[in-house]
Amino acid sequence: MKYHVKSLKLADQGKKRILWADGDMPVLSQVREKFAKTKPFKGLRMSACLHMTAETANLARTVKAGGADLLLCASNPLSTQDDVTASLVRDFKIPVFAICGEDRKTYYSHLKAAVDHQPHITMDDGCDLVNVLHTKRRKEAANIIGSMEETTTGVIRLRAMEKNNQLLFPVIAVNDAATKNLFDNRYGTGQSTMDGIIRATDFLLAGKRVVIAGYGWCGRGCAMRANGMGANVIVTEIDPIKALEAAMDGFLVMPMEQAAPVGDLFVTLTGNKHVIRPEHFRKMKDGAIVCNSGHFDIELDLVGLKKIAKNSRRQVRNFVDEFTLSNNHRIFVLAEGRLVNLAAAEGHPASVMDMSFSTQALASEFVVKNKGKLATRVHDVPQAIENKVANLKLKSMGLKVDKLTPVQVEYLSSSTEGT
Ligand code: ADE
């Protein structure tokens, strides 16, 4: 078996972490037990370009139990947990191509390995694998039955491809499932982003001014958690509806230009480029901390920051780089502007990834069952899968919901009853 991981010597620790995470992924465990019996992926090759975490390892075990010939590669150069990849190779016999801190060339060589695997099904987190299949490796794209996309940024890229008639195979927007974004994007990103910032800096949130750029589900989660820890939250937005929502959720709303001089900590979660630029860095207080929790490392204009800094980057702590500007104000950038929650912490907790990855696994089964029947476009996750995941999660939490009475069913289906 070919693979490229940091060191198999790390596998003992990785295995413990995978099994620990599994204890908090009861829905995925049930899907795995079912797949082990039904083998929905028998005879099929699968390549998955995801964050290489303990939670992903449990998804990998699940599709492998379903008969898939699976290969994994990283969806971000800094999010790989090297102990986990070691255990995946040694203990679970799953080939992995991912090393934490890999350079761009290695990152793309790992994506190449994922395409060389000649997959029938792909899973992506950010659309890099699908992008390679659509640009450099179109021959291999012909074998693909369908692909799953895990994150907002990836779905944006895919919808653009669909609009431009470039898409070569059907894709399921797992990110857009309620069982994914309402929980993973909101509670997962909210908690893990604060976790990454605190682990990197030991920052006290209480009493600080925290600027959250972007009020999508991830931004909402971060604002909620920063607020819960006593920060004064400021939201910046470009969308008037989201801005209003932030205001009525109790946060200050203002443009980045106004937020820059008052913020102590800045977190970008917009999915867009250059959200914090030199004109903003120049206005910041001495000691301002800046980080990103959006998918790509483009939200902070770090090239621009380097141009206006007096010094070259100085690492003052793990995951913290200091830049001093001509006004002698120091700006601290976390995790090189990459996803702070996955680089400086462990990503979202297993309990919430349980829902995202059960949705992923069941969406993959759906794609295989509907081979040749799905149009070449971006599809939503079927409602039946969402309901299944939600019901199993509720059950695992010991929670029950009410049932409609016959009178209520009738009321909902009639239009005659009024005032
Ligand atoms: N994305 C965010 N958190 C994650 C995790 N723990 N595992 C995989 N992907 C993630």
Is residue 354 in contact with ligand 1, taking CB distance under 6 Å?
no
Distance 348 CA to ligand 1 centre (A): 5
Beta bridge partners of 148: 123, 172
Between CA 185 and CA 417 the distance in angstroms is 40
User: What does the pLDDT read at residue 117?
Assistant: 98
Is residue 53 in contact with ligand 1, taking CB distance under 6 Å?
yes
Q: Half-sphere exposure (CA, 13 Å, Cβ side) for 320?
A: 17
- 75 lies in the same domain as 116: yes
- 260 lies in the same domain as 276: yes
Is residue 295 in contact with ligand 1, taking CB distance under 6 Å?
no
Question: Rounded to a whole number, what is the largest CA-CA distance in the chain?
Answer: 73
User: What does the pLDDT read at residue 312?
Assistant: 80
User: What tokens appear for 381 in the block?
Assistant: 């996750």
**Contact (Cβ atoms closer than 8 angstroms) between residue 162 and residue 190:** no
User: What does the pLDDT read at residue 23?
Assistant: 98
**Contact (Cβ atoms closer than 8 angstroms) between residue 55 and residue 348:** yes
- 353 lies in the same domain as 223: no
Domain that holds residue 140: 8-180+348-396
Is residue 55 in contact with ligand 1, taking CB distance under 6 Å?
yes
Tell whether 116 is covered by a domain: yes
**Count of domains for the chain:** 2
Distance 227 CA to ligand 1 centre (A): 23
Is residue 347 in contact with ligand 1, taking CB distance under 6 Å?
yes
Tell whether 76 is covered by a domain: yes
Tokens 């799905």 belong to 374
User: What tokens appear for 382 in the block?
Assistant: 């079927």
Distance 278 CA to ligand 1 centre (A): 31
CATH code, 390? 3.40.50.1480
User: What does the pLDDT read at residue 74?
Assistant: 98
- 46 lies in the same domain as 163: yes
> Residue 337: left if φ>0, alpha if ψ -120 to 50, beta else—which one?
left
User: What does the pLDDT read at residue 379?
Assistant: 98
- For residue 350, give the ligand 1 atom closest to its CA: 6
User: What tokens appear for 282 in the block?
Assistant: 């120049």
DSSP conformation letters of 172-240: EEGGGSHHHIIIIIIIIHHHHHHHHHHHHH----TT-EEEEE--SHHHHHHHHHHHHTT-EEEEE-S-H
Is residue 83 in contact with ligand 1, taking CB distance under 6 Å?
no
Between CA 320 and CA 333 the distance in angstroms is 6
Distance 182 CA to ligand 1 centre (A): 15
Tell whether 310 is covered by a domain: yes
| Per-residue pLDDT tens digits of the chain, which is 419 residues long | 999 999 999 999 999 999 999 999 999 999 999 999 999 999 999 999 999 999 999 999 999 999 999 999 999 999 999 999 999 999 999 999 999 999 999 999 999 999 999 999 999 999 999 999 999 999 999 999 999 999 999 999 999 999 999 999 999 999 999 999 999 999 999 999 999 999 999 999 999 999 999 999 999 999 999 999 999 999 999 999 999 999 999 999 999 999 999 999 999 999 999 999 999 999 999 999 999 999 999 999 999 999 999 988 899 999 999 999 999 999 999 999 999 999 999 999 999 999 999 999 999 999 999 999 999 999 999 999 999 999 999 999 999 999 999 999 999 998 887 77
Tell whether 416 is covered by a domain: no
Choosing from 348, 354, 360 the residue with most ligand 1 atoms within 8 A of its CB, the one to mutate for a pocket test is 348
Distance 326 CA to ligand 1 centre (A): 38
Sequence letter at residue 396: S
Distance 409 CA to ligand 1 centre (A): 39
Among 307, 326, 343, identify where a domain stops. 343
Q: 112 Cβ partners below 8 Å, 6+ apart?
A: 132
Distance 102 CA to ligand 1 centre (A): 18
Among 343, 362, 381, identify where a domain stops. 343
- For residue 75, give the ligand 1 atom closest to its CA: 9
Tokens 């399921």 belong to 172
CATH code, 194? 3.40.50.720
Tell whether 392 is covered by a domain: yes
- 22 lies in the same domain as 141: yes
- 124 lies in the same domain as 269: no
Distance 413 CA to ligand 1 centre (A): 41
Task: Calculate helix-pair angle for 11-22, 350-369, nearest 10 degrees.
Answer: 80
- 243 lies in the same domain as 175: no
Q: Where do the DSSP E strands lie in 112-158? A: 121-124, 146-149
Among 308, 328, 343, identify where a domain stops. 343
- 232 lies in the same domain as 379: no
- 387 lies in the same domain as 339: no
Tell whether 407 is covered by a domain: no
Beta bridge partners of 317: 320
CA 199-201-203 angle, to 5 degrees, is: 100
DSSP conformation letters of 40-60: TTTT-EEEEEE--SHHHHHHH
Atom 9, ligand 1: residue with shortest CA distance: 51
The model carries a pTM of 0.95
Beta bridge partners of 121: 46, 146
Sequence letter at residue 251: F
From first CA to last CA, the distance across the chain in angstroms is 71
Is residue 51 in contact with ligand 1, taking CB distance under 6 Å?
yes
Distance 340 CA to ligand 1 centre (A): 12
Tell whether 51 is covered by a domain: yes
- 307 lies in the same domain as 330: yes
Q: 125 Cβ partners below 8 Å, 6+ apart?
A: 49, 50, 51, 75, 76, 149, 150, 151, 154, 295
Tell whether 364 is covered by a domain: yes
- For residue 53, give the ligand 1 atom closest to its CA: 7
- 170 lies in the same domain as 253: no
Distance 188 CA to ligand 1 centre (A): 8
User: What tokens appear for 297 in the block?
Assistant: 């490392």
Choosing from 100, 195, 218, 342 the residue with most ligand 1 atoms within 8 A of its CB, the one to mutate for a pocket test is 342
- 356 lies in the same domain as 339: no
- For residue 189, give the ligand 1 atom closest to its CA: 2
Number of other CB atoms surrounding residue 49 within 10 Å = 31
Is residue 348 in contact with ligand 1, taking CB distance under 6 Å?
yes
